[in-house]
């Protein structure tokens, strides 16, 4: 029998030998294994409980007579903790009774002096604080995940805790395949050799050289056989999914995983919560890329209607989902299928979108036969035109500096004889080979005669 032990806010799993172990066998096992692992001696006195408060009397009865089955959680309470809980409970009860007797006269005194009384509130606050200290399990929370998609780091669902020790994993890829098998079972698949209440993987799931093969059936895909084949190629685990329906094998998809992302260094142990990490991500990727596409492809090959997803939702639920989308996503969805096109054309849906996105003071006065989709389209086009008009008016009258510097002017060829033209373009050529510039300041002007009296007469 496999059980879980809760001791000092830590949970561990172990297996009791024998067909029908007794409560004494469980206590002896805890003395030999659990107490020494927590640094306590085997002579430490303790008691067993199912709810963490009430102890189970040991009269030599079997676990089955106490309604304890495989997978149950057993709490180990030290006798000091039991005394503290009992004393705190009796003290709180006594204090509550005394305070109840004092509330009425204090309240009457406060009313006579027209002053508020705080004695009752202080009593209740002290009692609530004391109850929080005396029961730490309620503050910490005893929620345990039921599926892999609910598990945080350091947690694992009970089904994985029971399945993982019996797999005897020899590599991180084995551990990932164990989780994949559990995810297939969570999706509704059943193995060919499935046995009720089985907590072990089917025989032959692991082959030589890192090859794995598992076969399943599904209640929604009758007369079809689903096969998962996986192989290790270096650090990557490649999982191929195929199904056989109507004597025809079809490949659905391939998933490549790196086991080191989802497996810790403690994978050789028997504690699944310590061996795995990021189970939420692994569950989402595995189901979205392999499990759900397998069901959809198998039903499509057999001519069966869709069994899950948005198309299966009733109209009232589908409209509630669509009203959360924006208009662009809604118009894209309308082109997926005829079913979605008819659903997205609902007048009440477009009325909700119109009142959500636009301000219309006359919405209450509009008739019931209003085409809200066309009304939304008209308002949407008007808003776009106003935005374009405002954008056009906000443009500058002159080109921006970026446009000015980006334009390369096309100047004409430099006329010979102008300083700065040919000389700047070809500074390496000798001056003799270049044409002499006009109005060269170096040297006198041609045909120039000075005027008499020191005044220039100009050019002749």
Per-residue pLDDT tens over the stretch 399-420: 555 544 444 455 455 445 445 5
pLDDT per residue over 314-364, tens digit each?
888 899 999 999 999 999 999 988 889 988 988 889 888 888 888 877 777
12 and 113 both lie in a single domain: yes
Report whether 145 contacts 157 (CB < 8 A).
yes
Task: In whole angstroms, give the CA distance from residue 175 to residue 157.
Answer: 15
Report whether 166 contacts 198 (CB < 8 A).
no
Per the structure, the count of domains in the chain is 4
Task: In whole angstroms, give the CA distance from residue 457 to residue 454.
Answer: 9
Residue 260 in this model has a pLDDT that exceeds 60: yes
Number of residues in the chain? 460
pLDDT, mean of residues 184-209: 80
162 and 297 both lie in a single domain: yes
For residue 195, name the pLDDT band (cuts at 50, 70, 90).
Answer: low
C-alpha distances out from residue 105 to 100, 102, 117, 225, 388, Å? 10, 6, 10, 78, 76
The answer for 9, left when phi > 0, alpha when psi is -120 to 50, beta otherwise, is left
117 and 164 both lie in a single domain: no
Residue 46 in this model has a pLDDT that exceeds 60: yes
Residue numbers of the domain that contains 439: 411-460
The answer to whether residue 367 sits within a structural domain is yes
Which domain CATH number covers 197? 3.40.1000.30
The answer to whether residue 342 sits within a structural domain is no
The answer to whether residue 49 sits within a structural domain is yes
Q: Out of 125-134, 302-311, 376-385, which region has the weakest mean confidence (pLDDT)?
A: 125-134
177 and 251 both lie in a single domain: yes
pLDDT at 256: 94
Choose the final residue of a domain: 142, 174, 195: 142
103 and 36 both lie in a single domain: yes
Residue 160 in this model has a pLDDT that exceeds 80: yes
pLDDT, mean of residues 363-388: 84
pLDDT, mean of residues 188-212: 80
pLDDT at 80: 56
401 and 416 both lie in a single domain: no
Q: Out of 140-149, 200-209, 237-246, 330-339, which region has the weakest mean confidence (pLDDT)?
A: 140-149
The answer to whether residue 235 sits within a structural domain is yes
152 and 297 both lie in a single domain: yes
For residue 201, name the pLDDT band (cuts at 50, 70, 90).
Answer: confident
pLDDT at 338: 87
- The SS3 call for residue 91 is helix
Q: Out of 162-171, 354-363, 442-451, which region has the weakest mean confidence (pLDDT)?
A: 442-451
Which domain CATH number covers 44? 3.10.20.90
267 and 387 both lie in a single domain: no
The fraction of the chain above a pLDDT of 90, given in percent, is 19
286 and 364 both lie in a single domain: no
What is the side-by-side strand order in the sheet with 221-233?
A: 189-191, 211-218, 221-233, 236-245, 248-257
250 and 158 both lie in a single domain: yes
pLDDT at 446: 55
pTM for this prediction: 0.50
pLDDT at 121: 38
Task: In whole angstroms, give the CA distance from residue 70 to residue 63.
Answer: 10
Largest CA distance in the chain: 148
277 and 396 both lie in a single domain: no
pLDDT at 102: 44
The answer to whether residue 354 sits within a structural domain is no
196 and 177 both lie in a single domain: yes
The answer to whether residue 261 sits within a structural domain is yes
Of 189-193, 229-233, 398-402, where does the model show the most confidence?
Answer: 229-233
**What DSSP line would sit under 18-71, residue for residue?**
SSS-BHHHHHHHIIIIIHHHTT--TT--EEEESSSSSBPP-SS-BTGGGT--TT
Q: Out of 143-147, 261-265, 419-423, which region has the weakest mean confidence (pLDDT)?
A: 419-423
Residue 111 in this model has a pLDDT that exceeds 90: no
């Amino acid at each position: 029998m496999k059980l879980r032990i809760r001791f000092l806010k830590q949970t561990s799993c172990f297996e009791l030998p024998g067909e029908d172990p007794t409560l004494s066998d469980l206590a002896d096992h805890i003395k030999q294994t659990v107490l020494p692992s927590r640094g306590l001696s085997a002579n430490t006195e303790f008691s067993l409980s199912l709810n963490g408060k009430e102890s189970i009397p040991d009269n030599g009865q079997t676990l089955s007579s106490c309604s304890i089955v495989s997978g149950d959680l057993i709490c180990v309470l030290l006798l000091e903790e039991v005394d503290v809980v009992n004393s705190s409970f009796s003290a709180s009860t006594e204090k509550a009774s005394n305070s109840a007797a004092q509330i009425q006269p204090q309240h009457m005194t406060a009313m006579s002096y027209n002053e508020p009384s705080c004695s009752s509130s202080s009593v209740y606050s002290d009692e609530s604080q004391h109850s929080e200290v005396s029961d730490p399990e309620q503050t910490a929370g005893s929620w345990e995940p039921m599926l892999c998609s609910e598990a945080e780091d350091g947690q694992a669902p009970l089904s994985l805790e029971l399945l993982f020790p019996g797999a005897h994993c020899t590599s991180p890829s084995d551990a990932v395949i164990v989780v994949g098998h559990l995810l297939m079972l969570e999706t509704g698949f059943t193995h060919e050799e499935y046995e009720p209440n089985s907590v072990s993987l089917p025989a032959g799931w692991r082959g030589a050289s890192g090859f794995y093969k598992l076969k399943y059936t599904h209640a929604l895909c009758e007369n079809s056989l689903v096969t998962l084949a996986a192989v290790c190629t270096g650090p990557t685990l490649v999982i191929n999914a195929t199904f056989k329906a109507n004597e025809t094998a079809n490949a659905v998809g391939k998933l490549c995983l790196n086991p080191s992302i989802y497996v810790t260094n403690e994978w050789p142990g028997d504690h699944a919560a310590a061996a795995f990490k990021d189970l939420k991500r692994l569950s989402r990727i595995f189901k979205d890329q392999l499990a759900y596409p397998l069901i959809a492809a198998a039903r499509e090959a057999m001519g069966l209607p869709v069994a899950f997803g948005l198309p299966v939702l009733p109209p009232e639920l589908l409209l509630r989902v669509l009203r959360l989308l924006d208009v662009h996503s809604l118009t894209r969805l309308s082109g997926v299928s005829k079913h979605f096109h008819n659903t997205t054309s609902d007048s009440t849906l477009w009325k909700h979108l119109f009142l959500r996105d636009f301000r219309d003071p006359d919405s209450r006065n509009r008739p019931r036969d209003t085409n809200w989709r066309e009304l939304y389209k008209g308002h949407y086009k008007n808003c776009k035109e106003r935005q374009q008009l405002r954008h056009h008016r906000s443009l500058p009258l002159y080109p921006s500096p970026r446009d000015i510097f980006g334009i390369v002017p096309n100047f004409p060829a430099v006329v010979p004889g102008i300083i700065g033209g040919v000389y700047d373009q070809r500074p390496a050529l000798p001056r003799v080979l270049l044409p002499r510039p006009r109005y060269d300041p170096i040297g006198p002007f041609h045909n120039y005669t000075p005027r008499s009296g020191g005044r220039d007469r100009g050019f002749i």
